[in-house]
Structure 1
């Protein structure tokens, strides 16, 4: 060892270079220490080397810290690679991806070398380039549903969280996300189940609503059938009279005609037949209106957003649900005629309105009790507020207790009796309005007086982009 050190010293003196060595040294007592030795050549006045200066330091603590850091990095890397959420690290300034975990790569369908260095919008939120809530709009955190674009251009719905952090002296965005395709299918199934539940709930009422006009259509039609028989006999006698009018023997025919006119109550028929016809036509129009409203309520086959007359859609839903509310409440409507067309999923918006109206009717019914001669009040009002279409549905029920107000939009939460509600109505309504339409849904309530649900939908024109709901909440 001494010979090796001697040769190294000569080489340092010859080259004039500084040499630093790190060695792990074990002492007789079993302790292990890390030692660093720095050897520096000492020049003389003529540029030669007089000798060497050696400095030895114990760097065991530094080595232990470095080892701990490496172990920590290894653990973090293991966690990032094993977690079942996609994680992408993005440079805030360039928007380029600087790191990515295996789950994210699996979702993207590519390898790391094909992803690192690409602009994040190439894969994540392609429609949000230039308007990232964190990088561009200076939000501290973003939690929202977005779209991941795979290497094969397949769009995958994701639930994404973004935070801005400092890593290695640089500003980075840590984006974590999960694949919510299965969740979306479940939500779709739940929404359809809720819709079927509502339609089933309405079925008996609709049958009753259709049965009433159908009954008097049948009664009037049977009346007209019998009345026409009498009229036909009257016309026959009238024709016989005409044939006899050419001689003087018509007097007894005229008396006979007068007697028959009195027998069939001709004046009554003249008065009642037009009324029956009008009632029949009214009944037919009533049935047609219910059928039209039911069709407009369900909007079968419409899976894409389309511009609709919101006032008309609400009116149709009120008609469809009339058997739910007409026995407990008077319905009042105040529709803003200046309300613009609204870009939405018609069937789903109707479902939201239906759920809230039925809830209002149930709330009023609970206050009035069974067999009450009194009625409460439901008011549906629409307003145009700048870029928003607002719907306000008020009831004179008991209001929402303070201790449950924060749970109203939670899935499976209900204050109704067993068998009267699933607790999905308002949760689905919240999802439809907030997540699918970038709108807002809230409520105002006074215990003992009633509740008003307030829905806001973007009143965008064709070609315009709706403002995000979280911006509206900030404005309000």
Structure 2
């Protein structure tokens, strides 16, 4: 009790002393006071016990709250550690990504450098090719008609420094007569290998062949104008035209000369032939065998001379006269040629299979078959001779063949026999003039075909020639 009283505040103790009429602090007083003091002690103890219990309960609550707080803190710590781990993983991932990004960036930079170098090399290569082209080239803006680029050849043709050409209107130099009326953009035409005029800086006009190709680059349309100086070609064409005119005139004169000379030679030859026949007939007995033989040789020479003149006339007419083309049934024509030649009994002329119908001059084609077949007959050295005419398709051509089983021809003469006045035997022996195969060659080449021979000595020869299937009438 003493300890309890001592713990009470002084003011409270003074009040208690007045209530109980005694010194509460000293514990002296009446019995009533003692009883009250005892009751107070009991009550004080109860109050203390309740306070202690409340304090314990409060402590218990605080302990529980503290436990909950500790658990929450532990949970937060776990979450914080988990978040820290995730953050560390993210940092590591970002570092890895940054490393990959740096590597990728380095690769991209290396690739960009490589492509830049390749583009620079390609541009240099293209510029080299562009300037090495032996044709002038302008790159022209389709909308403004301004020259945006030009190669070295074009600059040289203009005759001005490059900076004075770039930016100029293209019609200042190319096609000056068409300024304001561009064939491509204004007139909707195409220019492909067209003859135009190029104007140099000094005013000289140069004939050119020009081609324009529209193109598009980076969304803008351009015209690639290429042109070639054809001054030399024009001069050569002019010289050629003059030579052709001169040659035509010369050929015409030669043809006329050959015709006149041949015509004038025929009359005295006919007189010689008639005179030799009269002498042979009237003076045979006086001349004797040798004299008659000499006159017979003279007559044969006159006949060969007449045949030669006829051949020259025939050959000259090929240039002087144009044939009249018509549809020719070669089956009928060959029958007429064979009947005209009247081959001897020991030589058979055959046609193997049907022959086509062609468009040509009947007289000239008749000369071709007549010369080939008559040569085969004339030079036949076998007791039983055969001449075979046949035809087969050869693409866009008919290929004809005239074969015989005669003496054959050596390979070294395959070209020579088609030349004028060339024969392989004595003209006195066979009566050949050396004109027939030249006529064949000239006629066939005039129709766009070709002629050649295949032969084996002792076994015979085959003369081939081709003739186009489709021809326009002349």
What range is the shorter-chain TM-score in?
0.3 to 0.5
Structure with the largest fraction of helix = 2
Structure with the largest fraction of strand = 1
TM-score by length of 1: 0.37
